[in-house]
């Protein structure tokens, strides 16, 4: 929204600066556009990376290679957020219970996000399904990463505002890619830990 509004301001500003009689050649107008655009991209990038919240999918740039990459990244990013939500939905804690003698036994209590009890078998089933999703996600995001260079190269042949929008779109896409790559590894590791912990207490 911010970047789109800024593009409109650029066009109006350039129109004001270039009356019909014209002091500026088309080359000069292009230079002015590039100066405005460079400033916008820097401000946009600083503003985006300074935010600690969900990353928004940018609007299509009409540059095919970039838009395909951006869509793939943000589809994977959305799946990453969904997996994290599903992992956190199942919670468990280990309670220590004193024996009649001198020892202490432990008991695992598993609940879901609604506070309802979940059996160990039910939790293992859900975590097993999540592990399949997270493993596929980790492979998928690595494949998407391999297309980043091609997407970046496709910007070179773009013209005018399409080039600007495509360049700007790669900023949040890059951030979403880095986040998803990192998160996918953590998710697989965490799910395996949860499964191992439940199995260790399954016979208690």
Ordered by start, the domain boundaries in the chain are 1-52, 65-204
The answer to whether 167 and 63 have CB atoms below 8 angstroms apart is no
Residue 200 is predicted with a pLDDT of 84
DSSP string computed for 86-147: HHHHSEEEEEEEE-SSS-EEEEEEEE-TTS-B--HHHHHHHHHHHHHHHHHHHHHHHHHHTT
d(CA 151, CA 146): 10
Mean pLDDT throughout 139-149? Answer: 96
Asked whether the predicted pLDDT for residue 63 surpasses 80, the reply is yes
Residue 80 is predicted with a pLDDT of 95
Mean pLDDT throughout 166-171? Answer: 96
Residue 162 CB partners (closer than 8 Å, separation 6+): 61, 62, 63
Asked whether the predicted pLDDT for residue 23 surpasses 60, the reply is no
The gap from C-alpha 32 to its chain's centroid, in whole angstroms, comes to 33
Q: What is the Cα Rg of the chain in Å?
A: 25
CA-nearest of 167, 153, 174 to 34 is 167
Residue 108 is predicted with a pLDDT of 81
Residue 33 is predicted with a pLDDT of 40
Asked whether the predicted pLDDT for residue 46 surpasses 70, the reply is no
Asked whether the predicted pLDDT for residue 14 surpasses 90, the reply is no
CB count within 10 Å of CB 104 equals 9
Residue 168 is predicted with a pLDDT of 96
Q: Which tens digits make up the pLDDT trace of 78-104?
A: 999 999 999 988 887 777 767 666 666
The gap from C-alpha 16 to its chain's centroid, in whole angstroms, comes to 39
Which CATH number applies to 65-204: 1.10.760, 1.20.58, 1.20.1530, 1.20.120? Answer: 1.20.58
Mean pLDDT throughout 168-179? Answer: 96
The rounded mean pLDDT for the chain is 78
Helix axes 160-200, 120-145, angle to 10 degrees: 150
Asked whether the predicted pLDDT for residue 49 surpasses 80, the reply is no
Residue 112 is predicted with a pLDDT of 82
Q: Which 8-state DSSP code applies to residue 156?
A: G
Label residue 147 by pLDDT band (50, 70, 90): very high
CA-nearest of 51, 63, 70 to 177 is 70
Residue 93 is predicted with a pLDDT of 78
């Amino acid at each position: 929204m911010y970047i789109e509004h800024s593009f409109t301001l650029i066009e109006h500003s350039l129109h004001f600066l270039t009356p019909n009689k014209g002091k500026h050649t088309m080359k000069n107008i292009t230079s002015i556009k590039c100066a405005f655009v460079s400033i916008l991209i820097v401000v946009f990038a600083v503003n985006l990376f300074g935010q600690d919240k969900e990353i928004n999918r940018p609007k299509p740039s009409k540059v095919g290679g970039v838009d395909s990459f951006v869509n793939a990244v943000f589809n994977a990013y959305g799946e990453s957020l969904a997996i994290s939500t599903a992992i956190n939905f199942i919670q468990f804690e280990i309670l220590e219970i004193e024996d009649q003698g001198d020892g202490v036994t432990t008991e695992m209590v598993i609940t879901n996000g609604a506070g309802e009890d979940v059996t160990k078998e039910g939790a293992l089933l859900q975590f097993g399904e999540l592990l399949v999703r997270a493993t596929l996600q980790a492979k998928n995001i690595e494949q998407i990463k391999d297309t980043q260079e091609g997407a970046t190269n496709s910007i070179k042949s773009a013209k005018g505002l399409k080039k600007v929008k495509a360049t700007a779109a790669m900023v949040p896409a890059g951030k979403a890619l880095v986040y998803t790559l990192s998160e996918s590894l953590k998710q697989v590791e965490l799910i395996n830990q949860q499964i191992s912990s439940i199995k260790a207490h399954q016979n208690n």
